[in-house]
Structure formats: structure tokens, C-alpha cells
Amino acid sequence: MTDATEQVAPSPAEPGAAESQAAPRRAATPRQAAAGTQAAAKKSSPLLIWGVALLALFIGLVIGVFGMRARYHAKEVVFSVNGATVDKNTFFDRLQRAAGAPVARALVAEQLQLQFAEKEGVLPTDEEVEARFQELAKRKNFKENLQRQGLTEEQFKSNLKLQMAQTNVLTKGVKVTDAEIREFYRQNTDPKNPNARFYMPETVQLAVIVTRTEEDAKKALADLNRGIAWATVVKNYSLDDSKENDGVLPPTVRGRTRASTIPGLEDAVFGMKVGDRIGPRQFAGAWWIIRCLDKRPAQTMPFEEVKTECEIGAKLVKAGPETAKKVEAKFAEFQKNAEIKAFWPQYSEVIKVQ
């Protein structure tokens, strides 16, 4: 089923894969960041520092920029339903009510963190952000991944600047050797490490028809054998949520999805070749017909391509919790003295630092 193949570790080739966390209620503290970082360091996933809501930032940009434009185009239609139209004002007012509070909190948190980094003398310059962006942009499928996340280059750079500021704060003054950087890379390319950031195991793309009974599965198979289109058979028989996407599941990564917890399923699907179809087969109490749409071998990212991440990760490990405690105290004092004003009354209480 869909849950069986839900990916539980991000692809290292995804730009900003660690940048889409849930919106925080307040600015994340360095101790919270360090706790997550230390755990991640042990599992070799170093780059997420304070868990800032960059997805919320994107939503905020939509509300802030396009929402302002909507006020000058009040009658511009967003969509219609049987002739009944919904204009921009209606759409953005509803969006603001639904997401305004968490977005406002996230934006305040982001500004505080950028300003704190500036106060500490470690705010990345535009040149440094651009250099890092160009480094990331050379990676395979970077543009495709950016489009899939719904980000423009400028939005990604804004997110990147925030991430760099966060890491700079926690690693200020920390030095690491080449050996320490190499060791971090080794840990993060170890196939036995389920959270290895720079190693992607074998991956397969599947489409499925999942039924409750063997009888229904056999009926579905008979329809396929009669030449009825796969999408039609999926719609008629499958109980899986993937039926809304013609049965296509998210990529299944060996050892990193719930498929590995279902006896026999992972071995079965990774034994297929592109174009193969198996089933009906029983897995986890359901009956499956499975098609293999695509298959990719295991990949290890070259050291030179991820050297910057390895250096950052090694620094975070070396900084440790004591450094984080000191930063936390300074950041808490900085937040306490921050002057935060809401010019829209509905956000007066929302954006207060607790």
C-alpha cells in the first residue's frame, strides 16, 4: 500500500531536502537545534540546524507578495465552479486565515535568526550565498528538484542564506581537520547506515493494484490480460490511495521505506526488471498486482561534490552540546530584547516571542 513505500529518509540529491519542516511556534533555540543536530550527527544528517519553516516561508511569500497584488486586482478570478467564480480577494483572505499565524511566527523566527547571526558577525554575504548556490546547482537534477519543490532560484537562495546563518552561528570559531571531514563523509556513505546522507540505495518506481480479496485481484488481472488499460483497472479495483495517480507509488528505496518491514515485498519488487509485472501476490493481508516502471542502482555522491556539507557536519559534531548551551543563552537574551511590532492587529499576539 502507499504507506508501505513511504520514504523515511530524504534523497541526498534533493536541493534543500532538509528545509521543509513544520512551522515553529517560536524562534527555535540553539539547544533545540543542537539536540537535533547531535542526534542527526550520530545518524549522519548534519545540515538541518534550527528546523525553520521554509515551506511556511514560501507560503508567506505567496501571501505577502501575491496577496498584496490581489488587493489591486480584486476581481481577478482564480477559478470557477460550474460558472460560480472565486476571485483573488476571497482566495487570499481564506489562505491568510488558514496559514497566516504559523507563517507570521515563522517569518519572525527567521528574521530573529538572521539578525542574531549578523550580531555575531557570521551572517553570510550575498557573495557567499551565491557561491554556495552555484555549487549546489551543479548537482544532477537540481533544477528538476527545485521545480518539484515549487521554489524559484531566488526563493531557494533566501532559504539557503538562512540555513547558512544558522550553521555559522553554531560553528563559529570551530576548526576541523581534513581527517575529521573525511570521517564524516565515510560515515555518511556507509551502506549500513540507514541515514547516510550521501549514499542512496537501489531505488524502484512501482505502480500497483491492491485489493482486499484474491478474487478481486484475479478479476483485475483478467481485465489486464484482455487489454483493458492499466489506469482503468486501477480505478475499478484498487483500494490503495495511489489509485488517484493511476496506482503509481512514491519511489521505493531499499531498506529506507516501510516496504522493508513487510515480509517478502521488498525482495519481490527489487527482483523485477523495468516493464515486469507480478501478481496477484499476497503481502500484509492484501492482494497486489505490481508493475515496475523504473529502477535505479545504488549511488554514492563523490566527496568533492559534498565536501562543504561534510565540513559543516564535522564542525557541528565537534561543537557539541556545550557550545549550543552558550549560544542558546545569548540567543535567548537577543530575543528578549527584540522589538517586534504587528501593524495588522490580528497578529499582535501571534508574533510575540514567548
Q: Are residues 150 and 247 in the same domain?
A: no
pTM of the model: 0.63
Q: Are residues 59 and 187 in the same domain?
A: yes
Residues 253, 201: contact at Cβ < 8 Å?
yes
**Per-residue b/e over 131-161, b at no fewer than 16 CB within 10 Å?**
ebbeebeebeebeebbeebebeeebbbbbbb
- For 57-99, write each residue's pLDDT tens digit: 443 444 344 444 434 444 688 888 988 999 989 999 999 889 9
State the total domains in the chain: 2
Q: Give 38's pLDDT tier (boundaries 50, 70, 90).
A: very low
Residue 352 domain flag: no
The residue with cell 523485477 is: 272
**What average pLDDT is seen over the chain?**
82
> Which CATH number characterizes residue 263's domain?
3.10.50.40
Residue 354 domain flag: no
Between β-strands 77-81 and 277-283, what pairing exists: parallel, antiparallel or unpaired? unpaired
Q: Are residues 230 and 248 in the same domain?
A: yes
Q: Are residues 85 and 156 in the same domain?
A: yes
- For 168-199, write each residue's pLDDT tens digit: 999 999 999 999 999 999 999 999 998 899 99
Q: Give 259's pLDDT tier (boundaries 50, 70, 90).
A: confident
- For 261-310, write each residue's pLDDT tens digit: 889 999 999 999 999 999 999 999 999 999 999 999 999 999 999 999 99
Q: Are residues 112 and 168 in the same domain?
A: yes
CA dihedral 103, 105, 107, 109 (to 10 degrees): -150
275/204 Cα distance (integer angstroms): 12
Domain that holds residue 252: 202-297
CA dihedral 95, 101, 107, 111 (to 10 degrees): 160
